[in-house]
A and B are shown apart, each in its own frame.
Chain A
Amino acid sequence: MTERSLRIATGALALVGAGIAGYLTLARFSGVTLACTTGGCETVQSSAYAELLGVPVALLGLGGYAAILATALVAGELARLAGAVLALAGVAFGAYLLLVQVAVIGALCQWCLASDAVMALLAVAAVGRLAPESVAALVSRLARPTAGQAASR
């Protein structure tokens, strides 16, 4: 697992996340109904928690994914640190919003859940970029027992 492959993973996941957040942002501004199987998307999107200081949370998420994408396009140490900070904060804020959906609003938004999943994977990739040799060691340690078994037979 090289820094390069983690960078590619970060960029690809950030694009997927930006797609989800972009769809939610578009729906909010155009008034289009969300495709939603849980039936709770509009309830969540029209709640007081869907905005942060007047800015729709969906737009904030879009900005976050765009910023993480930018950190994946740059190779420097500062970009790696910024990407990891943004992705970890994204996961933590997503967890808070999930709690709000369950405990306060009483409705779940599947698009928010999809975004949470993407952000969690993104955090793994972005933090991994800080220590690619540790990720590589972990991957090879996980791979070694099977290789050892195959060799012993």
Chain B
Amino acid sequence: MPQARTIPGRDAGRSRLTRARLALVVVLAAALTLALVAASLLGARDDGGGGGGGATGAAVFGATEVEQLLAGIPQEGGVLGDPQAPVTLVEYADLQCPFCADWAARTFPELVEDYVRAGTLRIELRGLAFIGPESERALRTALAAGEQGRFWHVVELLYMNQGAENGGWVDDELLAAIGRSVPGLDGEAMLSAADSERVGAAMAEAAAQAEAAGVRGTPSFELGPTGGDLRPLQVTLLAPGEFRAAVDALLGR
């Protein structure tokens, strides 16, 4: 019986203690959360400010689609796909050319999914910059990303965000947004490498190859066995079917 009187008192003391402990836990957790949120907001603001032009830190349009399309496919400079792939498709393109962007949106993804990813086709882009200064700036940025194995990511994102020719669309804001939207790409390193002599030499080489191939407009294509004789590929619609038929013929299908 004496025990019955002492237990309620002990229980009350224990529940006061529990409440005090819970209050302590909540206060500490709130303080920790506030510190984390403050650090996060501060970091996001710094990132946006560093991007310049009032960039918000959000990813560029198309970042998810491009990453899904290209993830896991080897890239070496302007070449996409297995170096041992039996067939090579060369494209001459200007990143400001609307037909090139159209081909990139309609046909390129299908070729990547069905041929490049399967290891039967490698695609090489030889970039030209004849439309204007913005073509050169876009191409230099893509070639600089190529030094980090992300040439095609930047090319595709530029096409997806293409504006009017020399209308000012290739600006600091877009290039910074692309730089931070591609997984595995150091955006700042890309931007600072864009003006390098290496990139200039790569541009000159592609221009010389286009000259030798007699390229008169973009996009122009050459197709052939890898390491062998590439021949001009005449296409009228830039549609997937024309490319599939030509590649299948070379593959003996």
Contact = CB atoms under 8 A, between A and B. Distances in A.
Contacts of A96: 33, 36-37, 40
A130 interface: yes
B58 A106 contact: yes
B21 interface: yes
Interface majority SS (helix, strand, loop, mixed), chain B: helix
A46 B63 contact: yes
A43 B40 contact: no
A45 interface: yes
Nearest to B57: A48
Interface stretch (B67-75, B98-106, B212-220, B232-240): B67-75
B25 A42 contact: no
B29 A43 contact: no
Given A42-B183, A45-B183, A81 B43 contact: no
Contacts, number: 104
Interface in A86-125: 86, 88-89, 92-93, 96-97, 100, 104-107
B180 interface: yes
Interface stretch (A10-18, A49-57, A141-149): A49-57
Interface residues of A, number: 38
A48 B29 contact: no
A33 to B, nearest CB: 4
Given A47-B57, A49-B57, A130 B21 contact: yes
Nearest to B29: A88
A39 interface: yes
Which of A39, A46, A52, A96 has the most C-beta atoms of chain B within 10 angstroms of its own C-beta?
Answer: A46
B71 A46 contact: no
Contact of B67 (A33, A48, A49): A33
A84 interface: yes
Interface string B1-31: 0000000000000100010011011101110
Interface of B: 14, 18, 21-22, 24-26, 28-30, 32-33, 36-37, 39-40, 43-44, 47-48, 56-59, 63-64, 67-68, 71-72, 180-184
Interface of A: 28, 31-33, 39-40, 42-43, 45-49, 51-54, 57, 81, 84-86, 88-89, 92-93, 96-97, 100, 104-107, 127, 130-131, 133-134
